[in-house]
Structure 1
Amino acid sequence: MAWITASGVVTVFATLIAVAVYSPLLALQEIRVTGTARLDAEQLTEAVDSQLGTPLALLDFDKLTDDLSEFPLIRSYVTEAVPPHTLVIHVVERQPVASVMTSDGYVLVDPAGVEIERTEARPAGVPLVEVEEGEIGDDVFDAIIEVLLALPDPLLPQVDQVSATTMDDVTLKLSGVGQRIVWGSADRSELKARVLERLMAAHDPGASVEFDVTAPLSAVVRPL
Structure 2
Amino acid sequence: MRRPSPLPQTPESARPRSARAPEREVGRPAPAEDTAPVRPLARPEADPAWDDAGTEAAGLRDVWRASRARRRALRAEVKRFTVRQRRRRNIWIGVGAAFLVMVVGTAGAAYSPLFAVERIDVVGASQVDVAAVTEALDAQLGTPLAMVDDSAVKAALVRFPLVESYTLEARPPHDLVVRIVERTPIGVMQTPAGFTVVDAAGVALSTTPEAPAGQPVLEIAGGTDSAAFTAAGRVVRALPDAVRAQVTGVSASTPDDVTLTLGASGSRVVWGSADRSAEKAIVLDRLMAKSPPDRAKEYDVTSPEAGVVR
Q: Shorter-chain TM-score: which interval?
A: 0.7 to 0.9
Alpha carbons 2:262, 2:293 under 8 Å: kept: no
Deviation at 1:213, TM superposition (A): 2.8
Q: 1:118 matched to which residue of 2? A: 207
* Deviations 1:96-117 (CA, angstroms, capped at 9, x unpaired): 1211111211111122221111
1:81 aligned to 153, 160, 170, which one?
170
AA in 2 matched with 1:16:
G
Q: TM-score, normalised by structure 2?
A: 0.62
> Aligned partners of 2:294, 2:112: CA distance in 1, in Å?
70
Q: 1:182 to 1:89 in 2, by over 3 A?
A: same
AA in 2 matched with 1:180:
R
AA in 2 matched with 1:181:
V
Deviation at 1:159, TM superposition (A): 0.8
Q: 2:139 matched to which residue of 1? A: 50
Q: 1:109 to 1:58 in 2, by over 3 A?
A: same
> Aligned partners of 1:181, 1:130: CA distance in 2, in Å?
15
Alpha carbons 2:296, 2:309 under 8 Å: kept: no
**Which structure has the greater CA radius of gyration?**
2
Q: 2:291 matched to which residue of 1? A: 203
Q: 1:71 matched to which residue of 2? A: 160
Q: 1:7 to 1:45 in 2, by over 3 A?
A: same
* Bigger shift: residues 168-177 or 184-193: 184-193
> Aligned partners of 1:143, 1:199: CA distance in 2, in Å?
22
Pairing 1:189–2:277 present: yes
AA in 2 matched with 1:80:
E
* Bigger shift: residues 5-14 or 53-62: 5-14
Q: 1:156 matched to which residue of 2? A: 244
Deviation at 1:151, TM superposition (A): 2.7
* Deviations 1:109-158 (CA, angstroms, capped at 9, x unpaired): 122221111112212222111136x6114201111122222333321111
Q: 1:198 to 1:47 in 2, by over 3 A?
A: closer
**Whose RCO is larger (CA < 8 A, sep 6+)?**
1
Q: 1:78 to 1:4 in 2, by over 3 A?
A: closer
Backbone CA RMSD of aligned residues: 2.9
> Aligned partners of 1:197, 1:5: CA distance in 2, in Å?
67
2:253 aligned to 131, 145, 165, which one?
165
